[in-house]
With several copies, the nearest count.
Chain A
Amino acid sequence: MGYLYNTPEQEREMLDVIGCDNIEQLLDQVPSDLQLKGKLDLPEPMTELELQDHLTRLAARNHCDRVCFRGGGAYDHFVPAVVDEIAGRGEFYTAYTPYQPEASQGSLQAFFEYQSLICALTGFDVSNASLYEGGTAVSEAAFMAMRVTRRDGKILLSEGVHPEFRQVVETYTRELDTEVITIPAVNGVTDLSRLKEVIDDQVACVVFQQPNFFGCIEPGEEICEIARKHGALSVVSFDPLSLGVLKRPADYGADIGVAEGQSLGIPLQFGGPYLGILACRDEFVRKMPGRLISLAKDRDGKQCYVLGLQTREQHIRRDKATSNICTNQGLLALRATVYLSLMGPEGLREAATLSCQKAHYAADRLQEVDGLKLAFDGPFFKEFTLSYSGDADELVKRAADAGFDIGPSLKHFPGAPESSHDSVLIAVTETRSKDQIDALVSALKE
């Protein structure tokens, strides 16, 4: 099939106007020795019906029917139908960057509301209009901290930060002289004494995650305090849904908050597109990467919305831009906006509370199973690390065979400490029921 609009007759008419005999003549612009001889070697085309059959068959080879207790940074939270309905409107998903504000007030206002909701959620003064996802958000925050502090010597990353986020920082900084230092986790949380030892006046920022990759609650306030004392910024990678019950990053002293926003109404879709959140205090705004939407007035004095502070961006500043990112994750920011609007304070509190209560029930019950115990003593939110007396992958497989997805096993993350190789993550969201938790426990007891 194809998507051609002009009929052969129209093609003829158009070529006449152009003054060509055929389309081949138009292709003369490409030197003939560079033109492809023959055809691309691609599979035969399919019609819509054939494609749908093909996809249905492939989809059946992915296993999504198990009860999901899987975590590691992407979660099976509930996505209300309204989110899909709004994000499914062509007016949003087939528009582009709002270069013409007069024809884009829908997106612009939605993104302004996104920024405002993220500010309300985090306590920060300002949020950008989104970044790619959590890992790049951490990197962008680290670069931003270097600009703010004018320090590019060191970045400290807690081992509690998602290992893939840390890998992204490693990649982004690979051509810089900046030293990226990992502060180990002890008993599942950032080792504060090690942090205090390492930190000095070359450190641009201290990055930690709350709750961290192991599910544990970090001593956030103390980490921020330590950073502040040394003139470094504190960057926290938070779980947005957890803010239904946990203190907001700005309220415990963080300078920059970043997040993977997938839990705010975004489907799992094998890892992306997701949503990178970045918010901070007012004073850093001109050092912020990414797009910003600003309130403005039109010629008649009517309130409206425009792309703001574009002088930070690469189409104006080119190699001096705050970042090379040139879009936001518009459709995902829209999903988060609709999600947060639907949830409101009470809905978010309930979703967070349910996730937390069910996770604790699951943790209690799972420890009844021989060979399973909580890897760490400290408090956790909706996810926890379970250590197993045998091979962690074998545990995941046993669960899978019984109809449950758990994990991932920690040993699959590069640089995972040896001590974590017997461990798996278990995440419990508001979508899980007591019956499902009990059934998982029973299955693992067998």
Chain B
Amino acid sequence: LATAPIFELSKKGRRAATLPKCDVPTVELSDLLLEDVLATSPPPLPELSEGDVVRHFVNLSTLNMCVDTHFYPLGSCTMKYNPKRHERLARLHGIGDLHPYSRVEDSQGMLQILYELQEMLGEIAGLPAVSLQPAAGAQGELAALHVASAYFADRKESRTKVVFPSSAHGTNPASAALAGFECIQLPPSSNGLVDVEALKNAVDEQTAVFMVTNPNTLGLFEKDIAKISSILHDVGGLVYIDGANMNAILGITRPGDFGGDMMHYNVHKTFTGPHGAGGPGAGPIAVRSFLADYLPGPIVTKTEKDGQPYFELSVPPKSIGRMRSFFGNVGILLRGYFYLRTLGSDGLRKVSEHAILNANYLRTRLEELMPVPNADRCMHEFVASAKKLKDEKGITAMDIAKRLLDYGFHAPTVYFPLVVPEAMMIEPTETESKETLDAFFETFKQIISEESERLHEAPESTSIRRPDEVSAARNPVLSWTACVKD
């Protein structure tokens, strides 16, 4: 009952929220607002009691797997533990309730936090100029590509192409296209890394940016990244580092040091902003000094007032403009700030070391069961292939993924990156113990020993079984009204 669609729980005349009586003299609304803009009745929202609302959503929540309840090795998503202290602190009076148009003199605490975060992110990137504005990684990419455009326009260079490897996240080409670039995809390479020769052939004076994830989506560090960067720089192009996999290299190596000119962070991945069932994220970008003037703003600057540090908001002189209204996804940025302030440099490096340790341990063990193409080491994640299992026993990556749910593990990312057949992309993160990894391995082993028929039917124990996504795509029903009409 409680998890029936909320419109079905509605009963005319029920109320949850009650509002105070009006304490000012009231006037007929039709005297205040023109009759023809007024609705004749309020919108047909469902009518519920408060307890029913609570029971509905609490019950819905229990239908989710999440980091708080399960191991969630979803590759590329860095599903690490989200510290509860961050949730408490982000709600603090003076933090959670600060209006975005608070005067600068009324926001010095917040501006200090954001300034310090800019500085820390610049240091971790090795790219000193930071804008916290982008709302998510994809918006960070778009912002950086606009920065590149503005930079080249300023230099009167006409560059129309963005190049990326075939293993790239889909947002890379989508962002490049949205920023008006032509997208050039490199052919897949044999070793999972960027093919330096292919890259050389692909770039020229029309190339604006090469976008690369490093470590890449196979969990491999692009060992030729310095050479790659030189190739780009030699033709006058820029190197963009997709920071989705920063969890592998914190304090170990820096995009700015290996040749990147621009990058974004995913604060919700690397720095524990909770994933929120799909968002919000935050996608700050860091760039080299010569690109600083083009950053979207406002950014926080530090000055002095009466001998004390004083923080202000300013827009870089040649800014590409705003990516969004207000300052940014501050709530998520705060969680990144809390995380960095509690870890410090040693703690941050340990994060990556243990992310790598966990990934390699699980990789080594799982390789007994399934090949992990491309190398015998990985960084923070790896991509195994179920191709052999499929060929020999008819077990697909999807079957294994679904069956894992029955055993109380969230599934890895499957069928990405596209360059590995029957890909299972596994990222344990540093916030899991050997015990959990061992249990995951044992379960994996158990699963592939099961009858393939049973696996095709998996999952068995979840609240629903496999949905028919094909007919849902053909005939989408996207709202309650549409559903009632049917």
Contacts and interface: CB of A to CB of B under 8 A. Distances in A.
Given A326-B136, A357-B22, A3 B50 contact: yes
B94 A60 contact: yes
Interface residues on A, range: 35 or more
A5 B170 contact: no
A370 B189 CA distance: 75
Nearest to A171: B321
A10 B85 contact: no
A433 interface: yes
Interface stretch (A112-120, A191-199, A200-208): A112-120
Given A3-B83, A132-B136, A329 B279 contact: yes
Given A40-B124, A62-B108, A272-B329, A248 B472 contact: no
Query: Interface centre among B45, B176, B343, by most A CB within 10 Å?
Result: B45
B446 interface: no
A106 B95 contact: no
Contacts of A110: 57, 60, 277
Contacts of B48: 341-342, 344
Interface in B96-118: 96-103, 106-110, 112-113, 116
Given A104-B65, A176-B180, A51 B405 contact: no
B463 to A, nearest CB: 5
Contacts of B358: 6, 14
A419 interface: no
Interface string B78-104: 011111110111111111111111110
A109 interface: yes
Nearest to B143: A171
A296 B26 contact: no
B22 A268 contact: no
A356 B45 contact: no
B296 interface: yes
B390 to A, nearest CB: 19
A271 to B, nearest CB: 3
A167 B320 CA distance: 10
A172 B138 CA distance: 13
A55 B89 contact: yes
Contacts of A396: 103
A330 B60 CA distance: 14
A106 B220 contact: no
A291 interface: yes
Interface in A61-96: 61-64, 68, 70, 72-74, 76, 80-82, 84-86, 88-96
Given A3-B431, A93-B274, A39 B345 contact: yes
B341 A43 contact: yes
A345 B180 CA distance: 44
B39 A273 contact: no
Interface residues of B, number: 212
A318 B342 CA distance: 38
B171 A328 contact: no
Contact of A328 (B45, B220, B279, B360): B279
Contact of B63 (A31, A61, A106): A106
Contact of A23 (B20, B90, B353): B353
B336 to A, nearest CB: 13
A233 B89 CA distance: 44
Interface in B160-177: 169-171, 173-177
A251 B38 CA distance: 11
B289 interface: no
A190 interface: no
B322 A64 contact: no
Given A10-B434, A74-B100, A91 B61 contact: yes
Nearest to B460: A102
Query: Interface centre among B177, B279, B347, by most A CB within 10 Å?
Result: B279
Contacts of B282: 273
A257 interface: no
Contact of A14 (B7, B58, B138, B361): B361
Contacts, number: 743
Nearest to A167: B322
Contacts of B413: 99
B303 interface: no
A6 B465 CA distance: 35
A17 B18 contact: no
A94 B68 CA distance: 6
A102 B463 contact: yes
A110 B66 CA distance: 15
A354 B20 contact: yes
A439 B176 CA distance: 53
A47 B16 contact: no
A113 B61 CA distance: 14
Nearest to A113: B6
Given A4-B49, A268-B98, A430-B20, A251 B357 contact: no
B1 interface: no
B60 A105 contact: yes
Interface string B330-361: 11101000101111111111110110111011
Interface string B181-207: 101000000000000000000000000
A89 to B, nearest CB: 5
A120 B46 CA distance: 9
B62 A106 contact: yes
Nearest to B433: A5
Interface string A298-336: 111010111111110111111111011111111110100
B174 A321 contact: yes
Interface string A244-278: 11111001100000001000000111111110000
Contact of B252 (A36, A176, A313): A36
B344 A45 contact: yes
Contacts of B116: 43
A330 B472 contact: no
Nearest to B480: A116
A350 interface: yes
Interface string B202-246: 000000000000000000110101100000000000000000000
B329 A3 contact: no
A222 B13 CA distance: 35
Contact of A318 (B49, B91, B173): B173
B473 A47 contact: no
Contact of A295 (B23, B334, B477): B477
B481 A92 contact: no
Nearest to B409: A103
Contact of A119 (B37, B462, B479): B479
Contacts of B482: 125-126
Given A94-B67, A346-B42, A109 B472 contact: no
6 contacts: A3-B80, A23-B357, A95-B65, A100-B405, A330-B276, A407-B103
Given A102-B459, A168-B325, A324-B175, 18 more contacts: A3-B351, A7-B13, A63-B102, A95-B64, A101-B467, A133-B135, A135-B322, A171-B320, A175-B146, A247-B38, A270-B98, A273-B332, A324-B171, A325-B139, A344-B15, A349-B42, A361-B25, A435-B23
